[in-house]
Amino acid sequence: MNQKQSNLNTLAEKLGVVILNINDYQNKDSVLRCACSSHGHQIEGTVDFLLKTNFECIECMHLNAVDVKDTTPFFLSLDAASYVSGMSLFNRDGQLLGHKTFNIDKKKDFFTRVSELRREVVKIVQENNIKCVILEDIQYQQNPVLFKKLAMLQGVLRYAIIEELGIDLVTAMADEWRAYNHISGTKRPEQKRAAIARAKAIFKDDIPEDESESIFLGYYGIYRYNSNCCEED
């Protein structure tokens, strides 16, 4: 075993993985076979892929996702839009408790749709005693009308969460939560397909795109919450 192989082997061990064919490692395109230390699940991929995903074990993630002991909601993750919004609930440990899509009739005017979404968020928070809402932050849009509407929607939700409900708010940029969850793609259709595929790999279920994205937004938001990254009022 050369020094480069030894360094990679040490890193993998720290991340809870045993590399079964470390001597095959020559460069970032080398394909390695690994086993997680917890249950011996098989993990395979190029060195480049394994490093980008921190040698994560999808099967262990699945086991953690289904082994839920605390069913008390703590976080609400909201992939908000004026027509279709994805929503997910998590316990304090960051385990998924449930998810749904909230649809609003497109025939209704913008302000009515925003008002309905706000009421739904307030209802979920109050009924489940939510302590923190995770919201995707807005980013610049080339369409100024769309950007203005997203900004208004964001403002209404922020005010409701922080001022009216008096609970914590965590926001996250889309590129940040996708990178954290290893969701790739340069265009929206690719990113949506990647989120759906990852959700299916972890939960062994077909989860709609808006719900899938709210789940992974939630995972990153919980990480930020635990790092004391709440919004100020």
How does pLDDT run across 109-137, given as a tens digit for each residue?
999 999 999 999 999 999 999 999 999 99
Question: How many whole angstroms separate alpha carbon 191 and alpha carbon 178?
Answer: 8
Domain-embedded: residue 65: no
Query: Is the pTM here over 0.85, yes or no?
Result: yes
Segment 4-33 shows an average pLDDT of: 92
* Residue 231 pLDDT grade (very low, low, confident, very high; cuts 50, 70, 90): low
Residues 216-229, mean pLDDT to the nearest whole number: 92
Cβ distance 50 to 39 under 8 Å? no
What are the pLDDT digits (tens) for 53-72? Answer: 888 999 999 999 999 999 99
Domain encompassing residue 144: 75-226
Query: Could you give the number of structural domains in the chain?
Result: 2
CB proximity list for 8: less than 8 A, separation 6 or greater: 19, 22, 25, 47
Joined tokens for residue 83 = 């027509």
Mean pLDDT along residues 179-201:
93
Do 44 and 97 lie in one domain? The reply is: no
Claim to verify: residue 18 and residue 83 sit in the same structural domain: no
* Residue 172: inside a domain: yes
Gyration radius of the chain over CA positions: 20
Residue that is last in its domain, among 29, 56, 83? 56
Q: What is the pLDDT of residue 19?
A: 94
pLDDT at 140: 73
Query: What's the mean pLDDT in 176-195?
Result: 92
Do 83 and 45 share a domain, yes or no? Answer: no
DSSP 134-196: EEEPP---SSHHHHHHHHHHHHHHHHIIIIIS--EEEEE-HHHHHHHTT---SSHHHHHHHHH
- Chain mean pLDDT for the chain: 92
- pLDDT tens column, 15-29: 999 999 999 999 999
- 174 with 220, same domain: the answer is yes
Residues 102 and 194 in one domain: yes
Q: Measure the N-to-C terminal CA separation of the chain; round to a whole number of Å.
A: 55
Residues 14 and 102 both lie in one domain: no
- Domain stops at, among 56, 83, 100: 56
Quote the pLDDT of residue 230. 64
- Does residue 96 carry a pLDDT above 90? yes
Please indicate, yes or no, whether residues 110 and 154 belong to a single structural domain of this protein.
Answer: yes
Half-sphere exposure of 25 (CA within 13 A, CB side): 26
Do 161 and 192 reside in the same domain of the chain?
yes
Do 194 and 91 fall into the same domain?
yes
- For residue 34, give the 3-state DSSP assignment: strand
- Residue identified by tokens 């909230």 is 102
Residue 221 token pair: 């938001």
> Which of 232, 211, 216 shows the shortest CA–CA distance to 174?
216
pLDDT for 162 beyond 60: yes
Element (H, E) at 88: strand 84-90
Phi then psi dihedrals of residue 72, to 5 deg = -85, 120
Please report the pLDDT score of residue 25 as a whole number.
93
* 18 in the same domain as 82: no
